[in-house]
Structure 1
């Protein structure tokens, strides 16, 4: 099994966490999205028509989109279960996961930030304000969900789920970009707890073979 990944991609990060939690071995195939390798014709044709990371390759089967990959992994390797079977708990996990992966991440990813830079010609200060605004919008919503429905030490109980796989990379990226997260204590508590878990630690960007210092 191969994972085509970029060390700083939060979608790759969440997929690495899922693979580590399940103990699934894989070969790491770096794809440098900063230099546009994800748009190379060979990669798009053979591996991921979405021209993005991550992509999972298992024999003749390849799959893009991190949530689809993690759902596939959850069926193929059902222990530990990251998307609960219980209907209500499953819904809560997906609610928070989709908030992060559909509302927060897409408007602050690399291609959007580059568009702001290269096409709209915003200033660095304006770009930072954009990033912080959408982080604050999303984290405030996540904090409300955790306050109303969550339970410690993970987002929803005593075992990690897809929600934790999504929340931790999003917070790591926000911290890397200089965002202030003190207003979100419940999310911070999950983040601190996850940092002590071997699977989350192994998946962090600094330990990936393609890691480069800022």
Structure 2
């Protein structure tokens, strides 16, 4: 498998976590979003949408991280990232969707670039924009984790929801979003910091990481 992604992309990050949790081996190809490589002649044939991640597997290219995570669960069911019960699976998928559909799209690079270029937003304004949507989403997630979690978002083992949450926490810290009101979320962040699959997926540890 070949994962085309960007070290600091939340969607690439969540995909790396899931691949690592499944114990799968994959190569990485960096796509530098800051330089517009996602729109290059080299990358658009891989993903015509010009977004990361894209996962090459068995002669196919999979795009959109929620679809990739669901494929991983179907093609490599052990260890499971969804509970066995149908209602529980729906809860996990809902928690993941709150991040992947309602939080992350509003603070990704495309949106922040539009805020800067179209509305002349400075760093403080873009941070405030991101924090507005992160905070609203985390308020709901905190309540759901308190209801369903037992160390992780749902139960005592990491699920697809945790694959999405941990990168969103990383983004929240980049945007200087206060997190003190979310003790359950912070506990998951700490737990992930000691988990090999999450540690290996961290942006700072990726081959294309540019920390400058």
TM-score category, normalised to shorter length: over 0.9
What is the aligned counterpart of 1:200 among 191, 198, 201? 198
Shift of residue 116 of structure 1?
A: 0.3
Determine the C-alpha separation between the residues in 2 that align with 1:177 and 1:35.
21
- Give 1:81's aligned residue: 80
Shift of residue 171 of structure 1?
A: 0.3
Shift of residue 83 of structure 1?
A: 2.3
Structure 1 residues 117-139: Cα deviation after superposition (integer angstroms, max 9, x where no partner): 01221233222211111111111
Gaps of 5+ in 1: none
Shift of residue 42 of structure 1?
A: 2.9
- Give 1:26's aligned residue: 26
Would the aligned equivalents of 2:166 and 2:189 in 1 still touch at CA under 8 Å?
yes
* 1:52 to 2:31 alignment: no
What is the CA RMSD across the aligned residues, in angstroms? Answer: 1.1
Shift of residue 199 of structure 1?
A: 0.3
Q: Map residues 9-158 of structure 1 onto 2, 5 A cutoff.
A: 9-45=9-45, 47-148=46-147, 150-158=148-156
Would the aligned equivalents of 2:145 and 2:152 in 1 still touch at CA under 8 Å?
no
Structure 1 residues 173-212: Cα deviation after superposition (integer angstroms, max 9, x where no partner): 1112211101000111111111111000000001000001
Shift of residue 78 of structure 1?
A: 0.8
SS at match of 1:164: helix
Structure 1 stretches of 4+ with a deviation exceeding 4 A read none
- Paired residues, what number? 212
Determine the C-alpha separation between the residues in 2 that align with 1:33 and 1:84.
34
Determine the C-alpha separation between the residues in 2 that align with 1:100 and 1:132.
13
SS at match of 2:56: strand
